[in-house]
Structure 1
Amino acid sequence: MAIKLSDPVIKGLQQLGTDINIDISKKLIANTLKHTLSPEASVPSVPDIYITNADKAKLSEYAVVTLLAIATKHGTDAASLRAFLEKCEIQSTILEELVRTYDDHRKELTIRQLQIGSDFPHITDVQWRIMADVRSSTSDCSSGEVSFHVNLGRYNESNGERETIVEFVCSTEEMQLLINKLKEIERHCEKVATK
């Protein structure tokens, strides 16, 4: 899924390295990452970020948090993030700093995001394999049926390891019904998003 950001967020990113000098912009990115990863408000503030223009710094800080959260949510890779930021015309030094920061801390960002707001199991990974019942040299009977073994899972918020939420086996027809239901959900979400 492609990243989509609002105009104020893009403006906040574009200010980095232009309206806000590069050194302060790098401090802002590093400090924002610390605040994003910290579960508590224990990260000390860096006052020199806000000395020259507090309003622009706050908007840029908000923009960096939003970018990291959205990129993490969609599992964006570094190359896709770089292409998106180039399209947004982000200053090149800042672009590289944002991509490096995201790529270096992707696992921690994912774990942090998994710790926030999970009532129902949050499925983030699907594994599957096809199984077939075939005739062998030791058995003359075979149904010839193809079935799917599906494993829905997520990554544990404390250690990042994958854990299974549910496993099931289904026939080709049942798999097609499941796919159709998922497509129906996707169409509904797209309609809601455009309203």
Structure 2
Amino acid sequence: MFDEYLEPPRVERPVSPAPAVQAPVNSADTPSYTTIDQDAPSPSISPSYSALQSHQGVAAESTFISDASSSGDWIYKVKLDEYDDVLNNKARLVAKGYQQEEGIKFDESFAPVACIEAIRILIANLTSKNMTIYQMDVKTTFLYGELKEEVYVSQPEGFVDPFHLTHVYHLKKALYGLKQAPRA
């Protein structure tokens, strides 16, 4: 009688095939490279990386690594469904903002928050007019802000160009973790 509650029926879900990755060709005369089609889905890079890449927020420049205001770090997360099966692997690049020194790497920090009095006045005004209040969250807010200062980050781990080890990235748009990101 209670079997369907204690042991729910298993649902058959289709499994997508793994993306094909081209293997490098070993050659004694020339160096070999592994190339992956840009349209092929990668299990380690997520839509958040594509959001980072889609707005063209970086440009490679040749400068000294000591000029880089910050280095990047990868944050990994595995998204699971209700059956603890892996939905997707997510990765995002964040800046190590704690390494930035005030007065040297940035002028001042800023947190864009509303004061509680303003929020209370807004809520009181809207409820007196019998209006509905909606709340929203923009997930990529910090990624789309144009930086007003010149910010350089060193090459992230896994994306180091072996032919240009001294290159750093000049950020055009904000990156999570930067002290300049809230002002952008």
Q: Please classify the TM superposition score into its range, dividing by the shorter chain length.
A: under 0.3
Between Structure 1 and Structure 2, the one with more helix by share is 1
Between Structure 1 and Structure 2, the one with more strand by share is 2
**Structure 2 length normalisation: TM-score?**
0.20
**Structure 1 length normalisation: TM-score?**
0.19
